[in-house]
């Protein structure tokens, strides 16, 4: 919302000079404090010497150029001047700003004589932006469109007049405001002025529009029927006849430009000006082009069509589904008396009744369409207009008649200023109001207000903040009965009124207080464990990655038959359209990305959510938090992954009981068939098993390597990548070592190494367990210290060396004690697994 | 030559006179200081003070002298022995030091030639900031609450007082998934659903922050990712005021950005809070005087906040007449960007290890 300072000052005596930098800044700070965010402050109206008013008298193509043309303009001199111009929005007869050679434009650009494509350009035709006069840079700033090369200019003006004089340019300031959705009242200059006047304790008034009715009763000229009273709560219309469309007075043009709109002619300008000023959108119809000279407001029938002012042919009453089906929808249309659509209510008018140069009779519509009706249609049609935005936010339901009066008044004033024949205003207003507006009353408890804000405002002070913004107050049993003004549809309950008081008190005047929690701030056990886990993995050399949880479903399929992912209904791109079922694809993508920029080999981890489709009848996906680690250093592989897992188990203090790695034996895929084993190397992966506090043993994840096929799918073929995936909730539920400190023997231990030959198909862990069980009570530790395959061993066999540590709590063990245990271990290994002692 | 003379001449020539002894000491001093290593010194020591030395011989011969001569010579011999022993000890200490220096020098290592081993990895920058923020609120006695990333529209919108036609609910802004009836299950657009879960738990008062991933249907660019991190806070207690909100914002923004940072609240709009506010901090680059980072205004918008809307409390069965509260929220990634001068957010999810290890 662009608001010129001069326009604001018309409603309240702000007394801020555009040249007073401090005053301009102070006003901006007040707007901020009121919640009207100042996004930019523009100073306008300076300079522009050398820019004059000129009329286009001829347009010629330039041979060989298809983007620029040669315009001959009459700038009041003896001969037309040749100017090269790249804009296309002008025709012969248009009056435009012409920057002569030597002029300096808004951005500091100095105009020189230039030669282009063999043609000399003696200056430049300008857009509003180039003149620093507004936001419209889309084409030339058309000052007047007379239709003919010798058309008339607004009274008293000659070609060659300096533009500053022509537009009556004065130094001004434009505040560009961001208006929050709950402040529809501030989508107009008057509303912003009201808020400022209240903050500054200044008087505020919206002048009553002056309309001199001098025609026949309006009812004899036009008719309006509302067939959808729920969506059109009020419809006001005025009729003005005897019109010639002329250029608007300078001030009207200037304000439209500063507000970011382009002046067209007196009728359209009057409508736009009124909307910017009062917030009420209006629409002018060419009454002579309205069959039956009347309007009907009704919902569209499915499939009805209309060509709107932007030239688009649009279909109404039906909406296409993504799936391809259609369903009927309510689109509110304005139709002529013959029931043919002539406009979309509150969004945009139709081409057929557009105001054109020949228009002489105008019906001005000022209605209150419901936010839902306008908002939904605008969204479906992807057509957000100044009007639809205002209806969607909510307009003043008591405003239509005043707006219709204002438009009529402006049309008449423009004609008089231009010296045209005075238009005739029909007597009276068509004013249909199927649903009367009832002003809302809210009970405000001053005590409640002070409790919520932390203030101690007296009741009369509260009323004092509310009155200037239109909230009437009356003492009642609860405190104050507050009548909400009609232009504040957002204020529905007590707390909304409290916000208004806080706003006008100023948030900066509410003293900050230190409120502390009565509780103790502690991480949950899960959160503390997760931090420890991340620390352990980072300590192992892995950098933490953050990959998107929205993934390419094709990537997951590359890794094998995972669970079906949850898919997005409305992805931005197909490549990011499913929720990840595994952290692996994302992490492999990172390895690939790092490889592509020739980074050294990396280890990466991520802790994040993965998602799976729930069973039938369940609405939400199965969502689990996992740790995923890819180990991509040179030489990394399953052994490193196992060591990482062992480090995690140690770091988390997991109890040994029940912990183990469960691996598929040749010919079996039982372990890897488990959920979560996506992308795991078939023969170099084990399930990580453990027992929880209740003793139940379950799988908490997988450890090993990434399947070579998966690596190939990610262009990482030929590498080994270690892979560990753990379900954090299950991991943290595993039994921990008891907190009691171990009792340490003070006697020396005896260590022995035992090397066995064992068939490669038998897990080393099984031999370890057998040895451990046979070693007896004095055995404190059994540890695998060496694995050997090769010369001296039959194929299919490998040598496994375990180091056993024996210690007694109360004495030094003798060689004989250890020899007995050793013999038991050897015998058990032989008997249970056929493992022979290696000489 | 020296040695021969000492052995031969003096030992066989009867009790030495003073001159002989002085000469002995002088000769010995020269031999001791010229001993080049510990072995040579030990040999010299044996010759000068050992059993076969002149001193020892003379001492043995003292018995043949009269009482007075014996006492005089004995004292003199002892004194000369002490002098020699001291000289030897001094020389030995010097030679030991030389030997040790030699050994140490041979052991010299250039510590800058050490080949680096792979070091520890790094937590993600966003994780570090998130934990720092969590710790600030833990210190204020808050709990940290978490929740699922996929939610029903009730938790994400309806319970938060967002009407069915709210623009954020459209498929334009939110990602919906192929679950539930129609478009009713979505990737949460804020961590506010966790607030609803907390309120529904029914344990009051609540002092909690909820960090986590949220999703919005934005095309990735330098300042937007469709997936990003947010941290929200919720306090519900008896008598919570807007002043409490302002004080809390002030406290934690100073904890994050430093004591010099000022915070301010401006009126804003959110369906789930009333009164609502945007909160800004004074620009961390220019300190508030205005610069390019803050577009010359001296303030940087950080997040949104407000008193919890009574409709939100009502939707979860909490009586707004008894309880009141405030809520706030801001982007964790945004704090990371501001503190570390990151120019393109996409670096966060590119996971180039140079970035992961570098900031």
pLDDT at B293: 75
Q: Cβ distance A573 to A514 under 8 Å? A: no
Position A460 scores a pLDDT of 94
- Taking residues A314-336, report their average pLDDT: 86
Q: B175 with B217: CB under 8 angstroms? A: yes
Q: What is the ipTM of this complex?
A: 0.85
The dihedral through the CA atoms of A270, A272, A276, A281 has a sign that is positive
The pLDDT of A10-24, averaged and rounded, is 91
CB A309 within 8 A of CB A349: yes
Residue A505: closest C-alpha in chain B: B267
| B139 near A CB under 8 A | yes
Nearest by CB to residue B226, choosing from A516, A550, A633, is A550
Q: CB A539 to CB B352 under 8 A?
A: no
The percent of residues above 70 in pLDDT, for chain A, comes to: 97
CA B15 to chain centre: 77
From chain A residues 539-558, the ones with a CB under 8 A of any chain B CB are 539-550
- Helix %, strand %, coil % of chain A (to 5): 30, 30, 45
pLDDT by residue for chain B (359 residues), tens digit each? 444 444 444 445 677 888 888 888 889 999 999 999 999 999 999 999 988 888 888 888 888 888 888 898 889 889 999 999 999 999 999 999 999 999 999 999 999 898 888 889 999 999 999 999 999 999 999 999 999 999 999 999 999 998 777 767 777 789 999 888 878 899 999 999 999 999 999 999 999 999 999 999 998 888 889 999 999 999 999 999 999 999 999 999 999 999 999 999 999 999 999 999 999 999 888 887 877 777 777 888 999 999 999 999 999 999 999 999 999 999 999 999 888 888 888 889 889 988 888 76
Residue of B nearest to A501 (CA): B275
Distance from CA of A282 to the nearest CA of B (A): 24
Contact at 8 Å (CB) between A283 and A271? yes
Note whether A604 contacts B: Cβ–Cβ < 8 A.
yes
Whose CA is closest to B27, among B83, B74, B92? Answer: B83
Tell whether A34 is within 8 A of chain B (Cβ).
yes
Report which secondary-structure segment, H or E, holds A727: strand A722-727
**Cβ contact A603–B180 (<8 Å):** no
Cα–Cα–Cα angle for A565, A570, A572, rounded to 5 degrees: 100
**Lowest mean pLDDT across A110-114, A562-566, B252-256:** A562-566
Using CA atoms, how far apart are residues A306 and A315, in angstroms rounded to an integer? 7
CB contact under 8 A, A566 and B240: no
Q: Is a pLDDT exceeding 70 seen at residue A156?
A: no
pLDDT score recorded for residue A147:
53
What are the backbone angles phi and psi of residue A303, rounded to the nearest 5°? Answer: 90, 0
Interface of A with B in 615-654 (CB under 8 A): 619-621, 623, 633
Residue A550 token pair: 């929205």
User: Mean pLDDT of all residues in chain A?
Assistant: 91
Closest Cα in chain B, distance from residue A532 (Å): 12
| Structure tokens that stand for B105 in this block | 């020098």
Lowest mean pLDDT among A15-24, A531-540, A770-779, B81-90: A15-24
Q: What are A543's two structure tokens?
A: 């950098």
Q: Which of B150, B310, B313 to mutate to test the interface with A (most CBs of A within 10 A)?
A: B150
Q: How many residues does chain A have?
A: 839
How far is Cα A221 from Cα A225, in angstroms, rounded to an integer? 14
pLDDT digits (tens, 9 = 90+) for A245-294: 898 998 898 899 889 998 899 999 999 999 999 999 999 999 999 999 99
Of A513, A517, A576, the CB nearest to B142: A517
Q: Please tell me the distance in Å from A809's CA to the nearest CA on chain B.
A: 39
Cβ atoms of A365 and A254 closer than 8 Å: no
Copy the structure tokens of residue B7.
């052995």
The predicted-structure confidence for A346-398, as pLDDT tens digits, reads as follows 999 999 899 988 899 999 999 999 998 999 899 889 999 999 999 999 999 99
- Examine residue B275 and say whether the peptide bond preceding it is cis (omega within 30 degrees of 0): yes
Q: Which pLDDT belongs to residue A14?
A: 93
Distance CA A367, CA A348 (A): 13
pLDDT band, residue A734 (cuts 50/70/90):
very high
Q: Does A600 touch chain B (CB under 8 A)?
A: yes
Are B280 and B263 in contact, with CB atoms under 8 Å apart? Answer: yes
Residue A24: band (very low, low, confident or very high) from pLDDT cuts 50, 70, 90: very high
Residue contact B243–A542, C-beta within 8 A: no
pLDDT of residue A369: 95
Evaluate if residue A321 carries a pLDDT over 80. no
Nearest to B192 by CA among B224, B161, B163: B161
Q: How far apart are CA A272 and CA A357, in angstroms?
A: 18
Asked if the C-beta of B322 comes within 8 angstroms of chain A's C-beta atoms, the answer is: no
| 3-class DSSP string for chain B | CHHHHHHHHHHHCCCCCHHHHHHHHHHHHHHHHCCCCHHHHHHHHHHHHCCCCHHHHHHHHHHHCCHHHHHHHHHHHHHHHHHHHHHHHHHHHHHHHHHHHHHHHHCCCCHHHCCCCCCCCCCCHHHHHHHHHHHHHHHCCCEECCCCCEEEHHHHCHHHCCCCCCHHHCCCCCCEECCCCCCCEEECCCCHHHHHHHHHHCCCCEEEEEEEEEECCCCCECCECCEEEEEEEEEEECCCCHHHHHHHHHHHHHHHHCCCCCEEEEECCECCEEEEEEEEEECCCCCCCCCCCCCCCCEEEEEEEEEECHHHHHHCCCCCCCCEEEEEEEEHHHHHHHHHCCCCCCHHHHCCHHHHHHC
Cβ-in-10-Å burial (0-12, 13-18, 19+) of A325 comes to: exposed
Q: What is the pLDDT of residue A42?
A: 84
H or E stretch at A404: helix A400-418
A409-432: pLDDT as tens digits: 999 999 999 888 999 999 999 999
Q: Among A197, A174, A213, A206, which Cα is nearest to A38's?
A: A174
A608 — pLDDT class (breaks 50, 70, 90): very high
**Range of lowest pLDDT (A99-103, A401-405, A785-789, B91-95):** A99-103
Residues A702-712 have a mean pLDDT of: 94
Alpha-carbon dihedral sign for residues A481, A484, A490, A496 = negative
The segment with the largest mean pLDDT, out of A234-238, A554-558, A776-780, B44-48, is: A234-238
In contact, A272 and A301? CB cutoff 8 Å = no
How far apart CA B43 and CA B32 sit, in angstroms, is: 10
Interface test with B, best of A507, A548, A575 (most B CBs within 10 A): A507
Q: What is the distance between the alpha carbons of residues A645 and B160, in angstroms, rounded to a whole number?
A: 43
Q: How far apart are CA B145 and CA A469, in angstroms?
A: 41
Give the model's pLDDT for residue A453: 97
Spatial CB neighbours of B268, under 8 Å, sequence gap ≥ 6: A35, A180, B276, B277, B278, B304, B306
**Structure-token match 């140079």, residue found:** B354
- What pLDDT is attached to residue A153? 66
User: What single DSSP character describes residue A308?
Assistant: B
Q: Please report the residues numbered 214 through 233 in chain B whose beta carbons come closer than 8 angstroms to any beta carbon of chain A.
A: 215, 217, 219, 225-227
Predicted local distance difference test score (pLDDT) of residue A116: 82
């Amino acid at each position: 919302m662009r608001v010129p300072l001069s326009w604001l000052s018309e409603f309240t005596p702000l007394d801020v000079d555009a040249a007073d930098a401090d005053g301009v800044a102070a006003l901006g700070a007040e707007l901020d404090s009121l919640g009207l965010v100042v996004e930019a402050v523009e100073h306008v109206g300076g300079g522009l010497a050398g820019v004059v008013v000129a009329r286009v008298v001829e347009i010629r193509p330039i041979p060989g150029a298809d983007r620029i043309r040669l315009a001959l303009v009459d700038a009041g001199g003896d001969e037309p001047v040749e100017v090269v111009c790249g804009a296309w929005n002008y025709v012969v007869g248009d009056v435009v700003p012409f920057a002569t050679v030597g002029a300096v434009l808004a951005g500091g650009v100095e105009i020189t004589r230039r030669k282009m494509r063999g043609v000399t350009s003696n200056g430049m035709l300008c857009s509003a932006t180039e003149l620093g006069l507004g936001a419209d840079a889309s084409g030339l700033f058309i000052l007047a469109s007379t239709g003919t090369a010798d058309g008339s200019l607004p009274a008293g003006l000659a070609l060659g007049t300096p533009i500053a004089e022509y537009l009556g340019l004065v130094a001004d300031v434009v505040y560009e405001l961001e208006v929050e959705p709950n402040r529809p009242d501030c989508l107009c200059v008057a509303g912003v002025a009201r808020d400022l006047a209240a903050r500054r304790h200044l008087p505020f008034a919206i002048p009553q529009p002056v309309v001199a009715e001098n025609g026949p009763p309006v009812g004899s000229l036009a008719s309006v029927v509302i067939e959808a009273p729920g969506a059109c709560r009020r419809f006001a219309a005025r009729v003005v006849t005897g019109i010639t469309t002329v250029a608007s007075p300078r001030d009207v043009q200037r304000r439209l430009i500063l507000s970011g709109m382009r002046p067209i002619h007196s009728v359209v300008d009057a409508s736009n000006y009124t909307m910017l000023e009062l917030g009420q959108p209006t629409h002018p119809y060419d009454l002579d082009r309205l069959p039956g000279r009347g309007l009907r407001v009704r919902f569209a029938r499915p499939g009805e069509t209309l060509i709107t002012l932007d030239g688009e042919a649009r279909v109404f009453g039906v909406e296409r589904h993504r799936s391809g089906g259609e369903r009927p929808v309510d689109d509110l249309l304005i139709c002529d008396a013959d029931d043919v659509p002539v406009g979309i209510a509150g969004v945009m008018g139709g081409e057929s009744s557009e105001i054109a140069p020949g228009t002489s009779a105008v019906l001005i519509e000022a209605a209150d369409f419901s936010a839902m009706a306008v908002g939904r249609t605008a969204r479906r049609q992807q057509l957000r207009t100044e009007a639809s935005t205002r209806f969607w936010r909510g307009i003043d339901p008591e405003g239509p008649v005043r707006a219709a009066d204002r438009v009529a008044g402006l049309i008449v004033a423009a004609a008089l200023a231009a010296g045209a024949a005075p238009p005739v205003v029909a007597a009276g207003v068509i004013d249909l109001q199927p649903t009367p507006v009832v002003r809302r009353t809210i009970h405000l408890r001053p005590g409640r207000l002070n409790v919520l804000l932390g203030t101690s405002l007296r009741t009369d002070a509260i009323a004092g903040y509310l009155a200037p913004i239109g909230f009437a107050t009356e003492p009642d049993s609860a405190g104050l009965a507050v009548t909400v003004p009609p232009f504040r549809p957002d204020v529905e309950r007590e707390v909304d009124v409290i916000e208004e008081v806080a706003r006008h008190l100023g948030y900066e005047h509410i003293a900050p207080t230190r409120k502390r929690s009565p509780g103790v701030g502690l991480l949950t056990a899960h959160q503390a464990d997760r931090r420890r886990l991340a620390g352990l993995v980072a300590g192992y050399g892995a950098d933490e990655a953050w990959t998107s949880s929205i993934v390419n479903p094709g990537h997951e399929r590359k890794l094998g038959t995972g669970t079906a992912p949850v898919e997005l209904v409305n992805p931005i791109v197909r490549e990011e359209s499913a929720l990840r079922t595994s952290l692996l694809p994302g992490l492999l993508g990172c390895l690939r990305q790092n490889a592509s920029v020739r980074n050294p080999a990396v280890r990466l981890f991520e802790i994040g959510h993965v998602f799976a489709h729930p069973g039938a009848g369940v609405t939400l996906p199965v969502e689990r938090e996992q740790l995923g680690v890819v180990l991509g250093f040179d030489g990394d592989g399953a052994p490193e992954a196992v060591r990482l897992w062992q480090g995690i188990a140690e770091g988390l203090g997991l109890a040994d009981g029940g912990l183990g790695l469960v691996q598929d034996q040749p010919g079996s895929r039982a372990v890897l068939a488990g959920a979560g084993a996506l992308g795991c190397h078939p023969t170099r992966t084990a399930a990580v098993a453990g027992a929880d506090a209740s003793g139940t043993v379950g799988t908490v994840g997988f450890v090993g390597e990434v399947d070579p096929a998966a690596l190939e799918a990610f262009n990482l073929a030929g590498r080994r990548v270690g892979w560990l995936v753990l379900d954090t909730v299950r991991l943290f539920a595993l039994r921990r070592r008891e907190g009691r400190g171990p009792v340490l023997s003070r006697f020396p231990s005896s260590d022995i190494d035992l090397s066995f030959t064992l068939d490669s198909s038998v897990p080393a862990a099984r031999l370890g367990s057998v040895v451990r069980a046979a070693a007896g009570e004095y055995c404190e530790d059994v540890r695998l210290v060496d694995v050997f395959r090769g010369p001296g061993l039959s194929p299919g066999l490998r040598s496994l060396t375990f180091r056993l540590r024996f210690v007694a709590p109360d004495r030094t063990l003798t060689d004989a004690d250890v020899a007995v245990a050793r013999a038991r271990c050897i015998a058990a290994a032989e008997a249970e697994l056929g493992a022979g002692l290696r000489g | 030559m020296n040695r021969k003379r000492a052995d031969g001449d003096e030992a066989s020539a009867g009790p030495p006179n003073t001159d002989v002894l002085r000469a002995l000491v002088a000769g010995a001093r020269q031999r001791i200081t010229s001993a080049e290593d510990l072995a040579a010194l030990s040999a010299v020591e044996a010759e000068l003070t050992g059993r076969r030395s002149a001193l020892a011989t003379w001492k043995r011969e003292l018995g043949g002298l009269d009482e007075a001569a014996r006492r005089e010579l004995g004292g003199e011999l002892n004194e000369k022995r002490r002098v020699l022993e001291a000289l030897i000890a001094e020389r030995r200490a010097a030679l030991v030091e030389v030997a040790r220096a030699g050994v140490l020098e041979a052991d010299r290592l250039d510590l800058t030639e050490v080949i680096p081993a792979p070091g520890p990895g790094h937590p993600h920058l966003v994780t570090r900031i998130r934990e720092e923020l969590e710790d600030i609120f833990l210190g204020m006695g808050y709990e940290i609450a978490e929740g699922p990333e996929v939610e029903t529209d009730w938790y994400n919108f309806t319970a938060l007082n967002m009407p069915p036609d709210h623009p954020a609910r459209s498929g334009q802004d939110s990602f919906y998934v192929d679950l539930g009836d129609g478009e009713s299950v979505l990737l949460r657009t804020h961590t506010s659903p966790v607030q609803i879960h907390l309120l529904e738990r029914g344990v009051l008062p609540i002092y909690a922050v909820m960090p986590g991933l949220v999703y919005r249907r934005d095309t990735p660019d330098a300042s937007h990712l469709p997936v990003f991190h947010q941290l929200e806070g919720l306090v519900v207690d008896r008598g919570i005021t807007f002043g409490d909100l302002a004080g809390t914002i002030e406290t934690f923004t100073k904890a994050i950005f430093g004591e010099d940072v000022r915070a301010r609240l401006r009126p804003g709009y959110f369906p789930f809070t009333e009164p609502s506010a945007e909160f800004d901090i004074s620009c961390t680059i220019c300190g508030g005087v205005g610069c390019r980072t803050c577009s010359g205004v001296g303030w940087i918008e950080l997040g949104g906040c407000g008193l919890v809307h009574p409709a939100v409390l009502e939707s979860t069965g909490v009586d707004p007449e008894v309880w009141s509260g405030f809520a706030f929220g801001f982007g964790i990634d945004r704090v990371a960007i501001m503190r570390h001068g990151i120019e393109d957010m996409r670096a966060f999810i590119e996971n180039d290890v140079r970035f992961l290890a570098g900031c």
